[in-house]
């Protein structure tokens, strides 16, 4: 199959603080987005990697992936959904694909096994996501807890999320619901099946400033 990876890295990263967008902050000595970009670029079955970035970030993005196969750069939108949609539109313009793997740059550490499992799952379903079971107790409430939620059959869903290209592209074009937090939800809204493959703690999203500090992680929150 013709497989393309799509990394969205056009967020402002404001929750992480600092003036450098978090996707360009250094994690383990490299700009965050370079980690997952390198993993996808090294996979022989993945033909190209589309990188969705903010307007005016072309030079920063090129520098971040220097020495790796050249990225296809696409400008993102105001929301994650729009950024993904722009990336899918660019792939459609290039002639489409059989499969697309949609990934958050904010999840730099991407295990090969997850990619293997996702691609296998696409032989049986139009969508597949890595997910981990809930281990904490789950409840609803504001300041006071009002309701316990059974954690059985609840999942923490990660990326990459893998799809048959035509199905996810159609789901994006037809979406009119509230702003979704991921793409699997949009496929499900079209009545299509999304399979679960084992997620990985390494895939946890880097969101807040504290995620960037730690023994091996170099924080570079200043500009440049
Ligand atoms: O903000 P959040 O952590 O949910 O973002 C998830 C991913 O989506 C990040 O990699 C971020 O760069 C990307 N994103 C984007 N365009 C936006 C907002 C977020 O590409 N407008």
| Residue ranges per structural domain of the chain | 3-212
Mutational pocket test of ligand 1: of 6, 7, 8, 50, the residue with most ligand atoms within 8 Å of the beta carbon? 8
Q: How far apart are the C-alpha atoms of 1 and 123, rounded to whole Å?
A: 10
Ligand 1 centroid, distance to 148 Cα (angstroms): 30
Ligand 1 shell residues, CB under 6 Å? 8-11, 23, 52, 76-80, 83, 104-106, 205, 207
pLDDT above 90 as % of the chain: 86
pLDDT above 60 for 216: no
Query: Residue 224: which pLDDT band, with cuts at 50, 70 and 90?
Result: very low
Q: Which ipTM did the prediction report?
A: 0.98
pLDDT above 90 for 14: no
pLDDT recorded at residue 17: 67
Ligand 1 centroid, distance to 23 Cα (angstroms): 9
Structure tokens belonging to residue 92: 């459609």
CB 174 within 8 A of CB 194: no
Nearest CA to ligand 1 atom 7: 104
Of residues 161 and 220, more confidently modeled: 161
DSSP calls for 71-108: PEEEE--SSHHHHHHHHHHHHHHTT--SEEEEEETT--
Ligand 1 centroid, distance to 4 Cα (angstroms): 19
pLDDT above 70 as % of the chain: 91
Query: How large is the average pLDDT for residues 2-8?
Result: 98
pLDDT above 90 for 92: yes
Q: Quick one: which of 117, 124, 102 has its CA closest to 3?
A: 102
Query: How large is the average pLDDT for residues 206-224?
Result: 54
Indicate which atom in ligand 1 lies nearest the CA of residue 107: 10
Neighbours of 97 (CB within 10 A): 25
Rounded to 5 degrees, φ, ψ at 110 are: -115, 105
Nearest CA to ligand 1 atom 2: 11
Ligand 1 centroid, distance to 152 Cα (angstroms): 29
Query: Residue 214: which pLDDT band, with cuts at 50, 70 and 90?
Result: low
Range 3-212 has CATH code 3.30.70.2610 = no
The model's pTM: 0.92
Query: Residue 167: which pLDDT band, with cuts at 50, 70 and 90?
Result: very high
Q: Worst-scoring range by mean pLDDT, 7-21, 120-134, 158-172, 191-205?
A: 7-21
């Amino acid at each position: 199959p013709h497989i393309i990876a799509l990394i969205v890295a056009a967020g402002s990263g404001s929750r992480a603080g600092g003036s450098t967008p978090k996707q360009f902050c250094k994690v383990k000595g490299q700009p965050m987005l370079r980690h997952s970009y390198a993993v996808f670029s090294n996979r022989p079955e993945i033909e190209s990697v589309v990188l969705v970035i903010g307007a005016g970030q072309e030079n920063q993005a090129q520098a971040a992936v220097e020495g790796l196969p050249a990225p296809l750069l696409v400008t993102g939108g105001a929301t994650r959904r729009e950024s993904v949609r722009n990336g899918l539109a660019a792939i459609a313009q290039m002639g489409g694909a059989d499969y697309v793997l949609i990934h958050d740059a904010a999840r730099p550490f991407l295990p090969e096994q997850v990619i293997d499992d996702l691609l296998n799952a696409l032989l049986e379903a139009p969508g597949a996501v890595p997910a981990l079971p809930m281990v904490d107790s789950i409840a609803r409430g504001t300041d006071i807890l009002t309701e316990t939620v059974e954690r059985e059959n609840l999942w923490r869903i990660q990326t990459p999320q893998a799809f048959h290209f035509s199905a996810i592209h159609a789901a994006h074009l037809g979406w009119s619901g509230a702003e979704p937090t991921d793409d699997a939800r949009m496929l499900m809204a079209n009545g299509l099946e999304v399979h679960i493959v084992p997620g990985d703690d390494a895939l946890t999203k880097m969101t807040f400033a504290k995620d960037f500090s730690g023994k091996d992680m170099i924080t570079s929150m200043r500009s440049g």
